[in-house]
Amino acid sequence: MDYFNYQPNGQLWAEDIALTELAERYGTPLYVYSRATLERHWNAFDQAVIDHPHLICYAVKANSNIGVLNVLARLGSGFDIVSQGELERVITAGGDPAKVVFSGVGKTAVEMKRALELGIKCFNVESEPELERLNQVASELGLVAPISLRINPDVDAQTHPYISTGLRDNKFGIFFERAVEVYRLAHSLPNLNVVGMDCHIGSQLTNIDPFIDATDRLLALIDTLKAEGIVIKHLDVGGGLGVTYNEEQPPLPSEYASALLARLGEHSDLELIFEPGRAIAANAGVLLTRVEFLKHTDYKNFAIVDAAMNDLIRPTLYQAWQNIVPVVPREGEAKTYDLVGPICETGDFIGKDRELCLAPGDLLAVRSAGAYGFVMSSNYNTRTRAAEIMVDGNTAHVVREREKLAELWQSEHLLP
């Protein structure tokens, strides 16, 4: 559930503010987030495991705006990061480094050093060379690095191939068959402290079964390690819980968590870590865009809007379907439109074959744009990136200003 609703006057609002008002005040394209929705989604995870030792580590990559991170930090959230950049954002936003887990296959020595100095909760290590590097960096600092190994359980997450990460041919994690051997190596390195086990099998999962299969495999591995004297204190099940873009019916966090808890059996003292990104942020944001022109032809109708693939690349990159709705629905005959942006690429579309009744100047809201929206935007075609607004009740906060044109080339140079 979210707080973007049509009001009795027929117009779409974000919490207690009309989206038309925000578009007029801040221009379009415009990302609008709802604080109440972010909080509701985060709390849904937290409450789902409230009676069990746990930490919700929001996956920063989904939406890394410091305003968003600050809202979650105030709830006591942990954070899953994949770069020093994300780590610095968390710190800037008031996040607690002791609640940070560091994922990713390519951590540099510089990134490791910074994370060690800040005292993060855990490094989610993805390979043996990474173990060796981390041990080296920690020993140079005279510190011990807390580590988890990301295990690739080889389960099919049944999602889009680009966002499926738990299969044998993905670059992520350590193959299940080699896990014990790699844990032995980690255990033997003097500047590492084995504390956890993690996995992340993919994103936008709408079925619980792959999560449960992966968890069962990891719990068996935790038992094997225990017999060797390697004690795992936390199990990090990653992110991946899907959301409703169209008609998907993903499990609720409470359903997902109770299915997981039911598998724990003797592992009831195992701390559970979740790394949700999309499930918290996607439906807490919309992208507002205005219709510039309508182009009706015998073959097809196009609505040329002012948002483009540089603002929201999910439709182009993953053929992702996102709901596009009028902010002020109008009476009249609907036509079938492709909604396209101004970028010079055939792949520049936000939605295809949508039944809408439109006129130039109309305002549209692209739903579910709070995750993997702004963060994946670019300056392609020398377009400035959109502004971001956080609505909190009847107040709107600018959490990122619209980029200005001159900023785009301020770090570039003419030849002497």
Contact 66, 33 (CB under 8 A): no
Q: How far is the CB of 97 from ligand LLP (least distance, A)?
A: 18
Under rule CB under 6 A, residue 372 binds ligand LLP: yes
Judge whether 372 is annotated as a binding position: yes
**Considering the complex, what minimum distance in angstroms separates the CB of residue 318 from ligand LLP?**
6
Are 111 and 83 in contact by the 8 Å Cβ rule? The answer is: yes
Contact flag: residue 276 with ligand LLP (CB under 6 A): yes
Residue 49 sits in the site that holds ligand LLP (CB under 6 A): no
- Pick the stretch among 109-117, 182-190, 235-243, 292-300 that binds ligand LLP (CB under 6 A): 235-243
In sequence order, what are the residues at sequence separation of 6 or more whose Cβ sits closer than 8 angstroms to the Cβ of residue 49? 257, 261, 272, 274
Q: What DSSP element (H or E) covers 148? A: strand 145-152
What proportions of the chain, in percent to the nearest 5, are helix, strand and coil?
A: 35, 25, 40
| Residue 318 labeled ligand binder | yes
345 is in an annotated binding site: yes
Residue with Cβ nearer ligand LLP (99 or 290): 99
Distance, C-alpha 391 to centroid of its chain: 19
Looking at residue 197, what DSSP letter applies?
A: E
Cβ neighbours around 102 below 10 Å, total: 28
Is 203 a binding residue for ligand LLP by CB under 6 A? The answer is yes
Q: Which is nearer to ligand LLP, 275 or 306 (CB)?
A: 275
Piece of 66-74, 130-138, 275-283, 287-295 that binds ligand LLP (CB under 6 A): 275-283
Question: Quick check: 275 binds ligand LLP (CB under 6 A)?
Answer: yes
Mask 332-371, x = binds ligand LLP (CB under 6 A)? ----------------------------------------
User: Among 118, 163, 261, 264, which residue interacts with ligand LLP (rule: CB under 6 A)?
Assistant: 163
Query: Is residue 361 marked as binding?
Result: no
Q: Using the rule CB under 6 A, which residue among 55, 62, 90, 304 binds ligand LLP?
A: 62
Structure tokens at 5: 């609703």
Of 57, 122, 344, 357, the catalytic one is: 344
- Residue 200 contacts ligand LLP per CB under 6 A: yes
Strands (E), 357-409: 363-366, 387-392, 395-400
Q: Which of 80, 126, 154, 311 binds ligand LLP (CB under 6 A)?
A: 80
Q: Return the residue matching tokens 């710190």.
A: 91
Which residue in 47, 70, 250, 52 sits closest to 157, CA to CA? Answer: 250
CB atoms within 10 A of CB 414: 5
Size of the site for ligand LLP (CB under 6 A): 20
For the four alpha carbons of 157, 162, 165 and 167, in that order, the dihedral sign comes to positive
Among 19, 192, 279, 339, binds ligand LLP (CB under 6 A): 279
Q: Is 275 annotated as a binding residue?
A: yes
Among the residue ranges 199-207, 214-222, 227-235, 284-292, the one whose residues contact ligand LLP (CB under 6 A): 199-207
Long-range contacts of 253-257 (CB under 8 A, 24+ apart): 253/41, 253/44, 253/45, 253/48, 253/279, 254/44, 254/47, 254/48, 255/208, 256/48, 256/208, 256/211, 257/45, 257/48, 257/49
Q: Which of 238, 250, 285, 370 binds ligand LLP (CB under 6 A)?
A: 238
Q: Is 57 a catalytic residue?
A: no
Note whether 314 binds ligand LLP by CB under 6 A: yes
Q: Residue 59 interacts with ligand LLP (CB under 6 A)?
A: yes
Cβ contacts of residue 115 below 8 Å, gap of 6+? 84, 87, 97, 100, 102, 123
Least Cβ distance, residue 36 to ligand LLP (angstroms): 20
The amino acid occupying position 147 is I
Site for ligand LLP, rule CB under 6 A: 59, 62, 80, 103, 163, 200, 203-204, 238-241, 275-279, 314, 318, 372
- Per the annotation, where are the binding residues for substrate? 278, 314, 318, 345, 372
- Per the annotation, where are the binding residues for pyridoxal 5'-phosphate? 240, 275-278, 372
Q: Annotated catalytic sites, by residue?
A: 344
